[in-house]
Amino acid sequence: MISSKKIRKQFIDFFISKQHESVRSSSVVPFDDPTLLFTNAGMNQFKSIFLGDKSPKNNRIVNSQKCIRVSGKHNDLEEVGVDDYHHTFFEMLGNWSFGDYYKSEAIRWAWELLTDIWKLDKERLWVSVYKDDEETKNIWINETDIDKNRILKFGKKDNFWEMGEIGPCGPCTEIHYFHGKNIKNQKASGVNSDPLYREVWNLVFIQYNRDDKGTLNDLPQKHVDTGLGLERIVGILNSTPSNYDTDLFMPIIKSIEEITHRKYDKKHGVSHRVIADHIRMLCFA
Ligand code: SER
């Protein structure tokens, strides 16, 4: 078993080796953003940098941001516990460029970490890109060794990331992992539809600000905002499709078993999963 602590550190250390500064997560309750109840993404605390209102101390940083998604534009509440991989509270591992590197480095480094360092099977990885973003598709084809048949185009719903109704946003490219038993059973139509194909890492290219009239305005600079779900990558690296079978949840589930005298049944264990998830979220909130 590789611990979540070790995996978090491997991510941070990888980006430190690419000249990023490691910074702490911000609070899950934003202090100065009236558009958000909870921090729902790593980029929340950097909004004023993206908008050009504040200068960053360092233009490359890496962090693990604590996030809560229970309301608003990004709301996973109904999925929690019913499936194995949505949570009200989760950690988002992220590398950031504020007007520094852009698509090429972000894509190459993500691929390097997943396939060279963590040695994920390339035959289980899929990539989605925004339908109009040929540049990103070409970077995947020309600068990584991904099989080009595993690069798929999707529309705004899946590959254009926005923090909320207004704010910084841009096209994204997502990396998905196939959790099925037999790699021969994969098909492109499973991505973004079949829960066996899961998004693990989202690379967002922040280049617009959507204003309150819905118009996209160019930002003064282009930025990179990536989010890799810690709970999901810990599941993958421990070869378990369920995030609940990792060291991030099992100790809590064991306590629930002891207190309730009810064994956790992986197949029908929605209640154990929901309680474990919500306890984690409430502790951090
Ligand atoms: N902002 C993107 C997300 O939340 C990537 O970090 O998915």
Residue 40: DSSP 8-state = -
Nearest atom of ligand 1 to the alpha carbon of 163: 1
* Protein residue whose Cα sits closest to atom 6 of ligand 1: 227
Stretches in the chain below the pLDDT threshold 50: none
Query: What separation in Å is there between the alpha carbon of 184 and the centre of ligand 1?
Result: 30
Report pLDDT for 35: 79
Ligand 1 close to Cβ of residue 244 (< 6 A): no
Ligand 1 atom at minimum distance from 94 CA: 6
For ligand 1, what atom is nearest to the CA of residue 43?
1
pLDDT value at position 16?
A: 98
227 CB less than 6 Å from ligand 1?
yes
List residues bridging with 263 in a β-sheet: none
Cα-Cα-Cα-Cα dihedral sign, residues 64, 91, 98, 12? positive
89 CA to centre of ligand 1 in angstroms: 14
Is residue 115 within 8 A of residue 184, CB to CB? The reply is no
> Which atom of ligand 1 is least distant from the CA of 74?
4
pLDDT for position 34: 84
Helix ranges restricted to H, the chain: 4-16, 47-50, 103-111, 134-143, 156-159, 230-237, 250-260, 270-284
Q: Which of 135, 146, 142 is nearest to 112 (CA)?
A: 146
Instruction: Output the pLDDT for position 74.
Output: 78
* pLDDT tens string 147-171: 999 999 999 999 999 977 888 999 9
CA distance 47 to 172: 17
User: How many Å lie between the centroid of ligand 1 and the Cα of residue 41?
Assistant: 6
Beta bridge partners of 204: 172, 225
Cα distances (angstroms) measured from residue 118 to each of 7, 27, 208, 285 = 9, 29, 33, 32
Ligand 1 center to 227 CA (angstroms): 5
Cα of 179 to ligand 1 centre, how many Å? Answer: 22
Report the C-alpha gap between 8 and 16 in whole angstroms. 13
Q: What is the pLDDT of residue 227?
A: 98
Pocket residue to mutate for ligand 1, from 161, 162, 175, 228, most atoms within 8 A of Cβ: 161
- Nearest atom in ligand 1 to the alpha carbon of residue 42 is 6
Question: Is the distance from the beta carbon of residue 96 to the nearest atom of ligand 1 less than 6 Å?
Answer: no
Residues whose CB is less than 8 angstroms from the CB of residue 236 and which lie 6 or more positions away in sequence, other chains included:
120, 177, 179, 200
The string of pLDDT tens digits covering residues 36-83 is 899 999 988 998 999 999 999 999 999 999 999 998 777 889 999 999
Instruction: Specify the pLDDT at position 190.
Output: 98
What residue type is 234 in one-letter code? V
Q: Hunting for tokens 């946003």 — which residue is that?
A: 169
Report CA 256 to chain centroid distance, whole Å.
Answer: 28
Task: Specify the pLDDT at position 273.
Answer: 98
Ligand 1 contacts CB of residue 151 (under 6 A): no
The DSSP-derived string for 172-202 is EEEEEEE--S-GGG--GGGTTTSTTEEEEEE
Q: 23 with 59: CB under 8 angstroms? A: no
